[in-house]
Amino acid sequence: MNLKVTNELKHLSSSQTLKNYSADEKQKLAQASKQFESLLTSMMIKSMNQTTEGMFGENSFGGDFFDSIFQFELASKMSEGQGMGIANQIFKNITGEELSKELLNLKIRPKELSPKIELNNKEPEIPSAKPSNSAISRLSKYEDLIDEASAKFGVNRDLIKSVILAESAAKENALSSANAKGLMQIIDPTAEILGIKNVWDPKENIMGGTKYLAQLLRQYNGDIKLALAGYNAGPARVEEFNGIPPYKETKNYINRVLAYLKNFEEKSYARKQLNTIDG
């Protein structure tokens, strides 16, 4: 999502009837204002970074993920304390008061804007990652097929898209060293089990890969990370280690998919917030 800001405060200047808020309500309003400013900051950094094709170049494998780590940390620092002043303007517009120093010290990081991905508190937070523009362009050709697969097998469409991006960067002719093929990188034995006749056909590949992902999600009671581990390393390895296998490739794969998924969720959240303010 490209962000062009001409007057970032234009939605905040309209007058409205103010009411008295309790201390608890003010704290929640302050937190929501800081969350919005943090998200806006992150979006601005991503937008500016796109003009230079990122720190690692647009087509570098994994560069989008490491770009996002840098953007995530920078946005976090910029949104602390006074930030850009947008949170204060939102809070003042609603309550008629300035944000107090105590409330301004709330450290709201972009990670709190995507509640659907819940990680163990002992694990490092995974920032969102924006795929390259070329990958997004390729993926857009399969939107209808992804929607169809999502509806048929009950798998979140953004999760399907994230798996496709992580597996093949949305290249339908992708072939791995392990002979995994197509958009969702399906090996021949798995294709046979899933009833895929032509693994290179985008529709059969997406339908088969989504069907397999749905089976894994049911097998692991909706645990996305275990399902992704099974998709990458195989269910036998998940059973062998009674959890995510200790393979660097598998761990990186899970983080990559979740980072793409989080990016899609943040974009959806941003659209809802902007629509709310415009309304």
Paired tokens of 159: 């999760």
CB count in 10 Å sphere of residue 199: 22
Contacts of 243 (CB under 8 A, 6+ apart): 226, 229
In the block, residue with structure tokens 């197509």: 182
Contact 184, 162 (CB under 8 A): no
167, 172, 204, 266: which is the annotated catalytic residue?
167
Burial class (CB in 10 A: 0-12, 13-18, 19+), 206: buried
**Which residues have C-beta within 8 Å of that of residue 150, sequence separation ≥ 6?**
156, 157, 160, 210
DSSP code for 186? B
Q: Is 167 a catalytic residue?
A: yes
Catalytic residues: 167
